[in-house]
Amino acid sequence: MSSEKLHEIKKEDKKAIKKFIVILILSALAGGVVGYCSVMFKEKVARIISESLLKFLLGLTPIANLILPIAGLFFILYLYQKSRRLYQEWDGEDEEEMAQIELYLAYALWLSSILTIVSFFLFAVGFYNIIYGLDDDILFRVIFITGALIVSIVIITISHQKIVNFLKEINPEKKGSVFEAKFAKTWEKSCDEAEKLSIYKAAYKAYQTVNRTCSILWLMCVLGAMVWDFGLLPVTLVSVIWIVQISSYCKESIRLSSISNKNY
């Protein structure tokens, strides 16, 4: 390596380290302030926040179990029908109109994925209510929240299937059924190079976002252990997710690099 390149590397590090030190100092100060306030107001603040959050979630869950699947289905159907209508009116040449159709379908798939996660979350909140005896009619609650989860999953799966089949109708080269165990892999194989590149860029963006999210959740779990007596389980689970994500990315990166080197 030339001395010029080494000088360039050192220059980049010198420039970046100043910002890094400033961020580190500010983070330490912020952490100190938050930690001090947490200790000072531990009992009062912790009790108010935990009780308020618990009341809000327990009050919201029965209503949300009924409304969310219906509201979600309404918006998904709206986007699906609008895409259908635009496709029927499409002249076969306007690429911007086709891009708009695919955008509506992408939003519909996004919404269905979010609804899946929210449904599982509400199911967990409902069972928390039952386990800790916060509801008298246990049998009814079990049947209700289980039925709500099943209905939500069925609605989401069917809507997902309709959207995917419509995408296959628009793009005949697309393969895969949402009911397959390896649907994502089959779908990816049927994508062209430009679509695969978009998938990979989106995946890398998600990787970066999850990294930042895990660091924030880790901090919240550490503070929660001091303020709300979370214990070590939450921070352990966040750390496991973090490690799995990093390891999965690094392992796949190494595998792809090895394949690329062999080809050369």
Residue found under tokens 């100043």: 18
pTM for the predicted model, two decimal places: 0.75
For residue 80, CA distances in Å to 100, 173, 259 come to 12, 20, 40
Choose the weakest-confidence range: 117-121, 133-137, 232-236, 248-252: 133-137
Instruction: Tell me, yes or no, whether 68 and 128 share the same domain.
Output: yes
Instruction: Tell me, yes or no, whether 28 and 4 share the same domain.
Output: yes
What digits encode the pLDDT tens for the residues 33-46? Answer: 656 665 555 555 55
Asked if residue 53 lies in contact with residue 242, where contact means CB atoms within 8 angstroms, the answer is: no
What digits encode the pLDDT tens for the residues 164-200? Answer: 888 888 888 888 888 888 888 888 888 888 888 888 8
What counts of helices (H) and strands (E) characterise the chain? 7, 0
Instruction: Tell me, yes or no, whether 165 and 182 share the same domain.
Output: yes
Ordered alpha helix ranges (H), 1-41: 3-40
Cα 103 from Cα 82, distance rounded (Å): 11
Q: Which residue has the higher pLDDT, 134 or 25?
A: 25
Residue 236's pLDDT is: 92
> What is the number of structural domains in the chain?
3
Residue among 145, 117, 149 nearest 131 (CA): 145
Range of the domain at 19: 1-40
Cα 88 from Cα 77, distance rounded (Å): 16
Region 228-235 average pLDDT: 81
